[in-house]
């Protein structure tokens, strides 16, 4: 944990976050400035600045949560698919490795001939909490093999 890192502060509970999943190595929570409502960030609990710095032993556990979160987003939010992305240094606004898992549907406008990603906002904390609740339930079902 690094005191200056905003994600480490969410991981420690110092800052609030709409947590969707947490185990002893990985946490997933709603992005506060989502591309699409239900956009989740999956992060290792141990601080690593970027994917390049991630210890090999954490790669599998981190991406297993990403895989399950992709399925949970599709099931829990009736999404047609998901977009999974990671930045390494360039365009990485928080220097703590994190993977974006974004709900996708046909015609959602996320990609176009000239991609322009416009961030959105939840109407209020209650709406964000409801998205997190739906995803927690769906994630638990996916993890249990349902």
What is the set of domains in the chain, with CATH numbers?
A: 6-107+117-143 (3.30.428.10)
- Non-local (6+) Cβ contacts of 5 within 8 A are 47, 94, 95, 96
Question: Which pLDDT tens digit goes with each residue over 88-129?
Answer: 988 889 999 999 999 999 988 887 766 666 778 899 999 999
Distance CA 19, CA 93 (A): 20
Confidence (pTM): 0.85
Give first-to-last CA distance, the chain, whole Å. 34
Task: Give me the torsion for CA of 43, 45, 49, 55, rounded to 10°.
Answer: -100
Q: Is 47 a catalytic residue?
A: no
Say which of 21, 39, 96, 98 is annotated catalytic.
98
How does pLDDT run across 59-98, given as a tens digit for each residue? 999 999 999 999 999 999 999 999 999 999 888 899 999 9
């Amino acid at each position: 944990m690094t005191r200056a890192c905003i994600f480490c502060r969410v991981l420690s509970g110092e800052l609030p976050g709409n947590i969707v999943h947490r185990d002893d190595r990985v946490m997933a929570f709603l992005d506060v400035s989502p591309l699409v409502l239900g956009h989740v960030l999956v992060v290792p609990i141990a601080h690593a600045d970027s994917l390049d710095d991630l210890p090999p032993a954490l790669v599998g556990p981190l991406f297993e949560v990403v895989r399950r979160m992709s399925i949970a987003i599709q099931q829990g939010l009736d999404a047609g698919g998901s977009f999974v992305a990671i930045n390494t240094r360039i365009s990485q606004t928080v220097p703590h490795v994190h993977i974006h898992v974004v709900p996708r549907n046909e015609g959602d406008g996320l990609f176009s001939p000239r991609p322009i990603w416009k961030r959105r906002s939840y109407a209020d904390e209650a709406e964000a909490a409801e998205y997190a609740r739906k995803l927690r339930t769906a994630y638990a079902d996916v993890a249990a093999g349902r």
